[in-house]
Structures are given as structure tokens and as C-alpha cells.
Amino acid sequence: MKKLSKLYTALIIFFMYMPIIVLVIFSFNDGKTTVWKGFTLKWYADLFRDSQIMSALWNTLLVAVLASAIATVIGTMAAIGINNFSGKKRLLLQNMSNISILSPDVVTGVSLMLMFTIAGVAFHFQMGFWTVLLAHITFCTPFVVLSVLPRIRHMDYSLYEAALDLGCNQWQAFRKVVVHELMPGIFTGFLMSFTYSLDDFVITYFTRGASFQTLSIQIYTMTHQRISPKINALSALMFVVIIVLMVIINVKDRKAEKRMGE
Amino acid sequence: MKQAKNDIIVSLRDIFVEFDGEVILNHINLDIRDKEFVTILGPSGCGKTTTLRIIGGFLEPGSGDVYFDGEKINGLPPHKRNVNTVFQKYSLFPHLNVFENIAFGMRIKKLPKDEIKKRVKEMLAIVDLKGYEKRSVAKLSGGQQQRVAIARALVCDPKVLLLDEPLGALDLKLRKTMQWELKQIQQKTNTTFIYVTHDQEEALTMSDTVVVMNNGIIEQIGSPTDVYNEPVNAFVADFIGEANIINAVMIDDCRVRVLGEELECVDKGFGQNTPVDIVIRPEDIEVVPPEQAKLVGEVKDVVFKGVHYEMTVMCKNCEWIIHSTECSPVGSKIGMKIIPFNIQIMNKMFPHPYNQFVCEVVYADEENNSVTVTLEDSKFDIEGFCYPAGTKLKVTLPPQALSIAGDGVGDIDDVYIESVIFKGEHNEIILESDEQKWIMHSDVDEQVATYVPLKFDFSKAHIEPVEEES
């Protein structure tokens, strides 16, 4: 029975990850088809020479860094605000924040597009970098709230009072004590935002306007023209980055849990 | 406005605090003298921590004034008060080591580095933690964390140090050591300590002055000997140390009737034939042969306590506790001799020996000869007579006619148990509903500071209609 369950698990993992493994393997294939012709790194080299892809990469990183940083600040403040409410009000606000995580990306994307179009007509602007950034901040913020809120709830409130008692004004007490206590949550929220921003396609697609390109959009466009193994290389790289971020988040969480346990 | 006396460091004037309609502090006044070790003592929920938070600046009173060193400091935030606090759970900053925790306050004040280093070192010596600078606070024992918390507060050189049950989390042995050490630290640093605790022994051991609180009011302020030997009422007597608290009648000055026997005492000024409570400490009763004492009892139980025997003695249906170094066997008759000086007379906490209220008939049921009345938004039936609706009834109920509804359905719900005091024969319980207080006798040890449904037994009541004034 035990062997059977192990086999079952192995099979599930195999089927889940096989497509990605195939993709990674073929990103090293010296040929344009799905026939193995030998090992090469030329697609990776091509990738870094492709100015279109490189500008898309730059855009993606810029949006991800800015959006997750801004979302972290807003989300942390929101979490503190929500925590100050009590009872039903708090539950309501918390769920309102969670609903935007659960709502389908298409809905979020289309609604943001609509809003930006209307606002664009009213205030004379076109969708592009700024609208994508705003959209990303919008969907990243709830993730920060989600990861910071439990930390606030578990924080010993008298730590804040102790800081006030020792001569801090409210801002100093927040900066010197509260932030340190919330740090694991803030950091997890930041990394989660960063990951979601990096791999978002749908919302970006609706809010990017005519010319703004990010990596996921770039790959999508490339598949329209002709299938280039460069896509494999690019996808493999993105996958690795996401994996690394996920590992960091999990290790951090583990450590935080262990410290709490002590 | 300046206060006249200049050895008073903290002064609370008519402080009133309310949360969600519940009164936490009921117009309290308190003066604390400079350089004293003051303990605020009381059961949980009595308002002692709230008092401390008001002095620390963490809570603004609903009304009333706080004076510090003669200056009114209402509304002044904690960081601008020359007061520091040692919190119940120590609240050390986990991301800083011992040195940085203690240096925290001085770093905020931007003191020079050399001075910070010097003062932290001195402080560590005072709290007996030399060489612990680099330790992580999470790795310290409870007692050590405690001392870091004290050092962190004292290094800021406060005029007053507030301590909120700081020894509560420690085990008994460590608590005893820390009690002694705290007193030493207070004397070494020459600082005013305001110490909050529910542990009466802690209060008696350490303090210069003890403030006994209950239900948002101050019951008594005095030296440890005062509150022990001369409690002002049954609550204080019961809360501090062991005591025999008995109903008695003050016949005249220096003469009190206890369980039918007239005894001599030293208190005066209670009037004639006034019902009073008396307190006699277990160690103040001398065991003598039965013929040499007015009060004679039978030993029911003896427990050896190390220094003395604790004997439970029944005397005229009333239970007494006696501490004696000599053991009288169970079943033997003994005389209980009490010298006049050791009988402490106190005013009754409840002003009347019975309950009285006026309620209004809302429905008269002539068929069953009963009425439905309303009192404080509650409705209940009284059987056995009938008055027309609208009549006001004056009801007098003896303490025995009240009970706590075991099935959860009372005539009045959510009545607050204010105090439970064992009076030898039964518990005397004082309760408070929205508009009045009640007195009740019970054999059950009810839990103080809880809400219960109260039931009336009208067969023991005296009921008469109120004469309408025309």
C-alpha cells in the first residue's frame, strides 16, 4: 500500500512537471523542431541579443519591482488599518481584500481596461506603462495584506507601548519596533507580489495599450508569428526565477514558524 | 494649577473611566508620595491596571485630572512623561540584544555613545546581569528577562517606575527572590515604584504603602500593617491575609455582641445597636480551657502547616479558623479567648440588612390571584395577591430570599457579583444590577466578577402597595 501511494505521488509530480521539463530540455536542442539534434546554448545567446525581448524583460522587471514595492507599502498600511477595526467591520474589510484575489484575472483585467479607457478619454492619456503599473499594484496589494495581517494579529501590542514608553513618538515606535516585528510578513508579501507581477499575462494584456510589451505578452506574440526555440529558453529562465523566489519564500516562512515555535 | 504639597509626585483627582457602559474606575482619588514603594492591590478586574495605564499615559480618563510633580499632565503622550513602565510580559524587543534593549530609550534621546555604554553597564550591575550585553533576549530565563525589562525602564532615569504584575509569570521561588531584589533596586535607585499586583503577600512584603482596590474604587490606603490589622471593611479583611469575618452588633462604645455573647473591644463611635462586621485574625485567638472563655467551640479539623496548626472550630453554627502552635485534638471542646485589641470592628459593606425595591404592576391576574410586575426592564410574576395594574409595590426581601438561578432563567438577568465573603455560617454576596445593589446569603462559593441571573423567592417577602401622594 505504501509503495502504491509513493508511486501515485511520483506519477502526479511527473505529469505535473513533465511539460516544463520537456520545455527546459528543448531549450537546449540544436534544432527548430521537436526532434533532438544535440546540445546547444545558442537559443539563450540569441535571446540576450534580441532587443525586443530584452526591452520586454526590462519592462517586466521595472513593473514588478515598482509594483511590488508600492503594493508592499500600501498593503502593510492597509493591514494595520484593517486590524484596528473590530468584529464585523474587520471581517468585511478583510474579505473585501481577499475577494480581489479570488476574482478571475479576466474580470479584473477587463474592468481595469474599462476604467482606464474612460479615464483616458476624460484626462487625455493612453494606456501604457503607467496603467500596467497601476493594475499590478492593484492586484498585488491584497497579497501583502494577506501575509502581513496574521503577523500583526500575533504581535504583542505591548511592544508598541513599550517603545512609546521609552520615548518614541508613534512614528518612531512603528519604524523601530513594529516594522521589525512585521518584517517576515512584509517580506513574504513583497516576494509574492513580485512573483505574481512577473508572471501576469491576462491583466497586463488588457491594460497595456498598443505598444507596451512585457515578457509574457512578448512570448504570446511570438507564438503567433513562428515558433522559435527562443521561447523555450525564455520560458525556462522565467520558470527558474519563479522557482527560486518560491523557495526563498518557503524557507523564510519555515524559519519564522520555527522562531515562533520557540 | 499647582498642587500645594511638594512631596506628592503623582496625584489622581476624581478619575472616572468607562468602557462600553461598564464603569472601570469610579471617581478615584490617589496621592503617591515621592520615593515610595506603593502597591496597588486588588482582584482581577478591579481597575488596578487601568489606574497604572492612566499614570503611564496609555489611557485617557473619561473625566478627572492627573498631576505629576504638581503639573497637570492630562493628554500628555507617554513619551513626554517622566515615567517608565515594566510590562506584564516584559515586552522586550526580540530583534535587539540585551545591550540594545537597555540602550533603546537613550538612543531615542540621542545621548552620546560613551554615556550610553557607561549607563547600560551600571544598570546591568544593578540588576545583577553583568556580562549579558551580547545575549539574545529570547534565550534568557524569565527572571533574567524581567531584570532586563526593569533595567531598560530604569536606565531612562524616570521619577516614577510603573510595574504591572511583573512577577506574575515567574515560579514561586524565583518570585520570592525577585520581590527582595525589587525592593533592593528601589532603594538603590531611590525611585518611586508603583507596583500593581493581585498577590496580597507580595504587597505586604514589599510596599511602604498599600492601596486596596475593588470594583473601580479604592477601599483603603495604608501601610501594610494598617491594612492587615485595621481593615476598613470585610472586603479588605478577606482579601488580605486569612480572617474570621463574623456578623456582630455594636451594643455601645467598646461593647460588641458576637454570636449572642457580649465581648469587650476598643473601637468607638459606631452608635448603639448597630449591625457591624468584625474581623479576628486566626493567630489572634487564644485557645484556653472552655470554662475560661465566653466563646466555646468544638474542633472539627486540624491541619499541620509547619509553623502552626490550622484548626477549624465550630462555635454556635459558625465556622472559625484558629492558628495555634499547640494542637487540640479533633472533637475536643475549646475556649476561644480574644483580647479586646484584636477585635477589629468594621462598618457593613451593605447599608441595610435586607433588600428593598419598588416595582410597578403591569398585569393583574385575578383568576390566579397573581400579578406581573416590572423592574429594571425585567418582568416577573408575584403570586398570592392581586393589585390593579399601575399600582406601585414596595417589596422587602431578606438576603435568604435571593438565589442565583441554576437553570439560567432569573427574574433579573446579568447581575454582577461584586463580592463574596464567607461569614462563618454562609457566604455573604453583594450583587449589582443596573440600578441597585443586592445582598444575598448562599452556601455556594460563587465566582466574583461574573454575571449571573438573580431569582427572588417572594414567599419570604414583605409586599405592600405604595401610598399614592395626592
Which of B88, B91, B105 is facing A167, going by the closest CB pair? B105
Cβ distance A158 to B88 less than 8 Å, yes or no, reads yes
The candidate with the shortest Cα–Cα distance to B399, out of B312, B460, B459, is B460
Cβ distance B152 to A166 less than 8 Å, yes or no, reads yes
Identify all chain B residues contacting A159, using CB atoms and an 8 Å cutoff: 91, 93
Residue A261's pLDDT is what? 52
Do B255 and B404 fall into the same domain? no
Search chain B and give the residue with CA nearest A172. B108
What is the H or E stretch that residue B322 is in? strand B318-324
Cβ distance A166 to B84 less than 8 Å, yes or no, reads yes
User: Pick from B171, B202, B229: which residue ends a domain?
Assistant: B229
Do B34 and B120 fall into the same domain? yes
Residue A146's pLDDT is what? 92
Give pLDDT tens digits along chain B (470 positions).
444 456 889 999 999 999 888 889 999 999 999 999 999 999 888 889 999 999 999 999 999 999 998 889 988 999 889 899 998 888 899 989 999 999 999 999 899 999 999 999 988 988 888 888 888 888 888 888 988 998 999 898 899 999 998 888 778 888 888 888 889 889 888 899 999 999 888 899 899 999 999 988 999 999 999 999 999 988 999 888 888 999 899 998 888 998 888 888 888 888 888 889 999 999 999 999 988 888 899 999 999 988 899 999 998 888 999 999 988 889 899 999 998 999 999 988 888 888 888 888 888 888 888 888 888 888 888 887 788 888 888 888 899 889 888 877 888 888 888 888 888 888 999 998 888 899 999 888 888 888 889 888 888 888 888 876 54
Residue B4's pLDDT is what? 46
Q: How many CA atoms lie within 13 A of A250 on its CB side?
A: 6
Search chain A and give the residue with CA nearest B102. A166
Number of structural domains (chain B) is: 3
Identify all chain B residues contacting A162, using CB atoms and an 8 Å cutoff: 85, 87, 91-93
Which of B89, B105, B138 is facing A166, going by the closest CB pair? B105
Provide DSSP, B242-264. Answer: --EEEEEEEEETTEEEETTEEEE
Which residue's entry shows cell 525577585?
B178
Q: Is the pLDDT of residue A199 over 60?
A: yes
Which of A164, A180, A262 is facing B79, going by the closest CB pair? A164
Residue A260's pLDDT is what? 56
Instruction: Name the region of B376 (left: φ>0; alpha: ψ -120 to 50; beta: rest).
Output: left
Q: Is the pLDDT of residue A135 over 90?
A: yes
Do B209 and B288 fall into the same domain? no
Residue A167, chain B, CB below 8 Å: the answer is yes
What residues make up the domain containing B326?
Answer: 234-347
- Mean pLDDT value of segment A250-259: 74
Q: Express each pLDDT in A28-46 by its tens digit.
A: 888 777 778 888 888 888 8
Residue A179, chain B, CB below 8 Å: the answer is no
Confidence (pTM): 0.78
Q: For residue B61, give every residue at least 6 positions away whose Cβ sits within 8 Å of its Cβ, in sequence order, or none.
A: B15, B16, B17, B25, B54, B74
Q: What is the largest CA-CA distance in chain B?
A: 92
Cβ distance B85 to A172 less than 8 Å, yes or no, reads no
User: Pick from B292, B319, B347: which residue ends a domain?
Assistant: B347
Identify all chain B residues contacting A167, using CB atoms and an 8 Å cutoff: 79, 105, 108-109, 156
Q: For residue B116, give every residue at least 6 positions away whose Cβ sits within 8 Å of its Cβ, in sequence order, or none.
A: B103, B106, B107
Residue B1's pLDDT is what? 42
Q: Which of A194-203, A220-229, B5-14, B295-304 has the lowest mean pLDDT?
A: A220-229
Do B314 and B280 fall into the same domain? yes
Cβ distance B104 to A163 less than 8 Å, yes or no, reads yes
**A-B contacts (CB, under 8 Å):** 59
Identify all chain B residues contacting A164, using CB atoms and an 8 Å cutoff: 57-58, 77-79
| B425 occurs within a structural domain | yes
A228 pLDDT tier (thresholds 50, 70, 90): confident
Do B293 and B407 fall into the same domain? no
ipTM at complex level: 0.75
Of the CATH numbers 3.10.20.740, 3.30.70.20, 1.10.3720.10, 1.10.1200.10, which one belongs to the domain with range A60-261?
A: 1.10.3720.10
User: Order of strands across the sheet with B71-72?
Assistant: B22-33, B8-19, B63-68, B71-72
Q: Which of B49, B54, B91 to mutate to test the interface with A (most CBs of A within 10 A)?
A: B91
Set of cell numbers at residue B85: 513602565
Amino acid identity for residue A15 in this structure: F
